[in-house]
Amino acid sequence: MGTPARHGRSEAVTAAPAEAVWRIITDVTRIGEWSHECRAAHWIGADRRAAPGVRFRGTNRSGIFVWTRSCRFTAVDPPRSLAWRTVGLWGKVDSTVWRIDLNPNGTGTRIVQSYEVVHVAPGLDRVYWLLVRAHRDRRNALADDLQRLARLAEASGSRQAA
């Protein structure tokens, strides 16, 4: 029996400018449009924009399993870098830092997404390995997420230009 990867990285290139991608990734209510696992999210509290300390909650699904995660933005550098940390059950079970960096690429943007599991309760990583098979190797799923995000940004950029 193994354990899920504790970190990962994927990237994609879009013809859209960084600002178009930024508008999508900083609106947590749109995450279900491009994420394979986080199906929906909503803001927690009065703030409705990404800023350090602002919180949101995501609802995830993988196979038959559904769960939520409270998240807090940790870094917001428009339109270049966005990071947030998930907090698992009771704030003690697990936590992952997610980051999306947007880098100029000709007239478009290179989107780089990375994650690092910063805490998991002893033994729970083995339980995740057994129950959530999709977390054993997330590379393809995360790469597909970025392709969907790239297409959304391109579509929104062409709508704004019209």
Model confidence over 38-75: pLDDT tens digits? 999 999 999 999 999 999 999 999 989 898 999 999 99
The domain in which residue 125 lies consists of 7-161
Q: How far apart are CA 105 and CA 75, in angstroms?
A: 22
Q: How far apart are CA 85 and CA 105, in angstroms?
A: 27
pLDDT band for 162, please (50, 70, 90 cuts): very low
Report yes or no on 2 lying in a domain: no
If one counts the domains in the chain, the total is 1
pTM passes above 0.85: yes
Q: How far apart are CA 139 and CA 141, in angstroms?
A: 6
| 133-146: average pLDDT | 86
pLDDT, tens digit (0-9, with 9 covering 90-100), for 123-135: 777 777 667 777 7
The larger pLDDT score, comparing residue 70 to residue 1, is at 70
Q: How far apart are CA 10 and CA 114, in angstroms?
A: 6
For residue 34, give the CATH number of its domain: 3.30.530.20
What stretches of the chain show up as alpha helix (H) in DSSP?
A: 18-25, 124-131, 139-161
User: What pLDDT does residue 159 have?
Assistant: 58
Report yes or no on 73 lying in a domain: yes
| 7-26: average pLDDT | 97
Report yes or no on 115 lying in a domain: yes
Report yes or no on 123 lying in a domain: yes
